[in-house]
Amino acid sequence: MKRKIAAITTSRADYSHLYWPLRDLSIHPAIDLRILACGSHVSPEFGHTVEQIELDRLPIASRIECLLSSDTDIGMAKTIGIATLGLAEVLGEMRPDLVLLIGDRYELMAPACVALALRIPIAHIEGGEITEGAIDDTVRNAITKMSHIHFTATALARQRVIAMGEDEKRVHWCGAPSLDHLNRQRLRTRDELERTLGLDLAQRSILVAYHPVTIMRDTLQEVDSLFKALDALPDQMLFSYPNADAGSRALRERTKLFVAGRKNARMWVNLDPVTYWSLLKCMDLFVGNSSSGIMETPAFAVPTVNVGRRQKGRERARNIIDAEPATESILGKIQIAKSVSFRESLDDVQNPYGNGTASRKIVEVLTTAPISPEILLKHRRC
């Protein structure tokens, strides 16, 4: 009998990280992979990115509409409830041997709770990290305690998961699977990007990826300072879409106004992983508060200015400079990041999130780890 694994993906961001584990599981002879696409994947407002999964010819078992067209924390809370109802029906009928989750998005509380109630073991990727400025931090820790097999992106994250009382034999350090794109796909050249995206990358270019700070009651409290700083710069500005969080709609409108007022600014609803990675490689600077700025920019030694509190506590490489959410601080740190001396200092930068071999380790464990009713038992160590 093949091992049936239900993998949950809710957005372009987690799909980029999950792509290679899903690809490898889908062709493994011992695995029956069932992908459940929900959240912003099936939302026209966020580009209906389920189509990218279809283009990649991965097996979508179910599309679960659950994301409210909202811009509030109440909408976020209701989305969790709707997702719980939809996933209870799907997973209750499917009864997989294992549910695979990645990351820390709030909507992942739904599949974790459903799997717990249905006594389905959970494998979780990227637990043990710290992001003090987002509710993701609490969500991540909650899912860790609800999970039975763990894959961490760093050695320190593994130690944190073990310190939470998880059996060290079930906690595997594998690196961040998004980095596998570097080893396993050909990135687009600068010329190809310029043709397909209509850009002039001879200009100094900044990739901006900024999301609402969900731990704050006003999730956009830092935004005015950020846009004032960006408005003072002559560089080409390339924006990625914010996550589906409270305040994201207002943030999108603010970004659209900024882009409309500049000839050298663009925003994309979605870029496929290869295009995004290729663009990142060509950037002179990364600015924002996205996990991509922490986990992925070191792969290309791209100078990065991390703004505000959202990623506070997360491990980081030497290419990352933290800025307070004040215009003067952001501009000052950008000037440091642009300097020739800083760029030259990054020649041998090391990425704590791995070297692009995570998928192999994840698939090895998922195909060989014993899964029986006993896996649901967690023995306290003290």
175-227 pLDDT, tens digit each: 999 999 988 999 999 999 999 999 999 999 999 999 999 999 999 999 999 99
What is the predicted pLDDT for the residue at 381? 60
CA distances from 78 to 85, 109, 113, 206, 305 (A): 11, 12, 15, 35, 34
Q: Report the relative pairing of strands 98-102 and 122-125 from DSSP bridges.
A: parallel
Cβ neighbours, 10 Å, residue 215: 17
Asked if 157 and 242 sit in the same domain, the reply is: no
Q: Which token pair is 371?
A: 């899964």
CA distances from 257 to 59, 144, 284 (A): 39, 40, 23
Q: Is the CB of residue 219 less than 8 Å from the CB of residue 310?
A: no
Asked if 169 and 274 sit in the same domain, the reply is: no
What is the predicted pLDDT for the residue at 225? 98
Sign of the C-alpha dihedral computed for residues 339, 343, 349 and 354 taken in this order:
positive
Domain assignment of residue 350, yes or no: no
Asked if 250 and 338 sit in the same domain, the reply is: yes
Cβ neighbours, 10 Å, residue 168: 12
Distance CA 68, CA 244 (A): 10
What is the predicted pLDDT for the residue at 372? 84
Q: What is the DSSP letter of 297?
A: G
CATH number at residue 15: 3.40.50.2000
Sign of the C-alpha dihedral computed for residues 40, 49, 202 and 187 taken in this order:
positive
Asked if 74 and 170 sit in the same domain, the reply is: yes
Domain assignment of residue 66, yes or no: yes
Domain assignment of residue 91, yes or no: yes
Asked if 24 and 159 sit in the same domain, the reply is: yes
Distance CA 50, CA 40 (A): 9
Listed in order, strand segments (DSSP E) in the chain are 3-9, 31-38, 60-64, 98-102, 122-125, 149-152, 171-173, 205-209, 236-240, 265-268, 285-288, 304-307, 320-323
What is the predicted pLDDT for the residue at 105? 94
Write the CB contacts of 199 (distance below 8 Å, at least 6 apart in sequence): 193, 205, 236, 238, 266
Asked if 223 and 199 sit in the same domain, the reply is: yes
What is the predicted pLDDT for the residue at 77? 96
Q: Which token pair is 62?
A: 């179910």
Distance CA 248, CA 257 (A): 14
Asked if 140 and 229 sit in the same domain, the reply is: no
Q: Which token pair is 231?
A: 């408005």
What is the predicted pLDDT for the residue at 382? 52
Domain assignment of residue 78, yes or no: yes
Q: Which of 345, 292, 6 is nearest to 176 (CA)?
A: 292
Tens digits of pLDDT across the chain (382 residues): 899 999 999 998 899 999 999 999 999 999 999 999 999 999 988 889 899 999 999 999 999 999 999 999 999 999 999 999 999 999 999 999 999 999 999 999 999 999 999 999 999 999 999 999 999 999 999 999 999 999 999 999 999 999 999 999 999 999 999 999 988 999 999 999 999 999 999 999 999 999 999 999 999 999 999 999 999 999 999 999 999 999 999 999 999 999 999 999 999 998 888 999 999 999 999 999 999 999 999 999 999 999 999 999 999 999 999 999 999 999 999 999 999 999 999 999 999 999 999 999 999 999 999 988 889 988 766 5
Q: What is the DSSP string of 51-79?
A: HHHHHTT--EEEEE----S--SHHHHHHH
What's the alpha-carbon Rg for the chain, to the nearest Å?
A: 20
Q: Which of 70, 67, 96 is nearest to 83 (CA)?
A: 67
Helix (H, G, I), strand (E, B) or coil at 93: helix
Q: Which of 326, 345, 349, 348 is nearest to 336 (CA)?
A: 345
Asked if 211 and 88 sit in the same domain, the reply is: no
Asked if 49 and 93 sit in the same domain, the reply is: yes
Asked if 139 and 224 sit in the same domain, the reply is: no
Domain assignment of residue 381, yes or no: no
Give the total number of structural domains in the chain. Answer: 2
CA distances from 369 to 18, 123, 147, 328 (A): 19, 11, 14, 52
Asked if 12 and 97 sit in the same domain, the reply is: yes
The count of residues in the chain is 382
Asked if 66 and 94 sit in the same domain, the reply is: yes
Write the CB contacts of 137 (distance below 8 Å, at least 6 apart in sequence): 104, 130, 131, 215, 313
Q: What is the DSSP letter of 167?
A: -
Helix (H, G, I), strand (E, B) or coil at 353: coil
Domain assignment of residue 183, yes or no: no
Domain assignment of residue 180, yes or no: no
Domain that holds residue 140: 3-175+357-376
Domain assignment of residue 351, yes or no: no
